[in-house]
Amino acid sequence: MCTNQNTNCVSISSMLPNFTPKEDDMFSRRCIWVNGPVIVGAGPSGLAVAASLKRQEVPYIILERANCIASLWQNRTYDRLKLHLPKQFCQLPNLPFPDDFPEYPTKYQFIQYLESYATHFDIQPKFNETVQSAKYDKRFGLWRVKTVSRKGLLSSCEFEYICRWLVVATGENAEKVVPEFEGLEDFCGDVLHASDYKSGEMYRGKRVLVVGCGNSGMEVSLDLCNHDASPSMVVRSSVHVLPREILGKSTFEIGVTMMKWMPVWLVDKTLLLLTRLSLGNTDKYGLKRPELGPLDLKNTADIKVPFI
């Protein structure tokens, strides 16, 4: 017999009397029926889904492998990080940012907003619970989600959640990707992924190579300059670099507004003309622009355009 204090969960034995877990799971895992979706991840997307379900009085549970909400924002972002888009484009459903927040909130303000969002909608994730696998059982039309819950440093407990719906909200940047570089084992300096970078203070007076020219690469390079380091950047392919604002207006907002009345190719040409007037010719810095415009390139190749 399985029990759980969450009112959205009941024993699987009473719901599916003919459901027989595999023999190796029968005694090692506690089986829990969920009266609604299982949401994997308590980041912004997971919180937004939970709040929307709660407004419709749909039960759910959230499984989060870390010990806090928005763990990527709290643990794997650099100090100077701010939202790259105006706050009205980043707010979650049914609760706007506070009026006294700036147009581009800092990471600390964004975390504060997410925590207040969870409090406002009474969202209570199951922390320290890592999903090991999620499989769809065609025979019963149900998902079987297996997890391991940490109970301190030395103990853990295994669960299997049975549900009709599964929402995966683990984020596109949940795992860092570190490419293999030939000869890296012979390099005597520090090698750091952007998710582990906090501040340029430790690199003051040093030469630093930044690999990548996305928003993180650009902002890390600027942070290094502000801490009197000497960064250089290597870029794999040509890229568009746009100013964050043009004439006091968000470049993203300008592009979205123009797309209501203009085709993408014309919006691209307009944005590139305004960018040329704002930033000048970026080719002289080695940042050659692709043949496709920024919006067309994003639509066809799903490539992010850095804003500076």
pLDDT digits (tens, 9 = 90+) for 97-119: 999 999 999 999 999 999 999 99
The C-alpha atoms of residue 307 and residue 250 are separated, in whole angstroms, by: 10
Arithmetic mean of pLDDT, 176-205: 89
Q: What is the pLDDT, as a whole number, of residue 52? A: 97
Give me the phi and psi of 264, to 5 degrees please: -60, -40
> Global pTM?
0.83
Q: Above 60 in pLDDT, residue 20?
A: no
What mean pLDDT do residues 39-45 have?
Answer: 97
Q: Which residue is associated with the tokens 């691209």? A: 268
Query: Strand, helix or coil at 56?
Result: coil
Residue 3 CA to its chain's centroid (Å): 33
Report the sign of the C-alpha dihedral through residues 274, 276, 277, 282, in that order.
positive
Measured at the CA of 129, the angle between CA 49 and CA 177, to 5 degrees, comes to 80
Q: With cut-offs at 50, 70 and 90, classify the pLDDT of residue 2.
A: very low
Q: Mean per-residue pLDDT for 10-15? A: 48
Report which DSSP code applies to 306: P
What local confidence, expressed as pLDDT, does residue 174 receive? 77
Which of 178 and 307 is assigned the larger pLDDT? Answer: 178
The confidence score (pLDDT) of residue 97 equals 97
Neighbour count for residue 96 (Cβ, 10 Å): 12
| Residue 230 to residue 290: CA distance in whole angstroms | 27
Residue 184 confidence (pLDDT): 84
In whole angstroms, what is the distance from residue 134 CA to residue 211 CA? Answer: 35
Q: Is 118 exposed, middle or buried (0-12, 13-18, 19+ CB in 10 A)?
A: buried
Confidence at residue 212, expressed as pLDDT on a 0 to 100 scale: 86
User: Is the pLDDT at 92 greater than 90, yes or no?
Assistant: yes
Percent of the chain scoring above 90 in pLDDT? 58
pLDDT of residue 206: 95
Per-residue confidence (pLDDT) for residue 296, from 0 to 100: 86
Query: How confident is the model at residue 180, as a pLDDT?
Result: 82
pLDDT for the residue 307: 56
**Banded model confidence at residue 177, pLDDT cuts 50, 70, 90:** confident
Contact present, 215 and 222 (Cβ < 8 Å): no
How far apart (Å, rounded) are the C-alpha atoms in residues 126 and 281? 51
Could you tell me which residue, 222 or 19, shows the higher pLDDT? 222
Q: Residue 270's pLDDT is what?
A: 93
* pLDDT score recorded for residue 10: 55
Phi-psi region of 205 (alpha: psi -120 to 50; beta: other; left: phi over 0): left
Q: pLDDT tens digit string along 240-276?
A: 888 888 888 899 899 989 999 999 999 999 999 999 9
Q: Are 4 and 109 in contact (CB under 8 A)?
A: no
Residue 45: phi and psi, rounded to 5, are: -70, -45
pLDDT reported for residue 240? 85
The pair of three-digit structure tokens given for residue 96, joined into one six-digit string: 């706007």
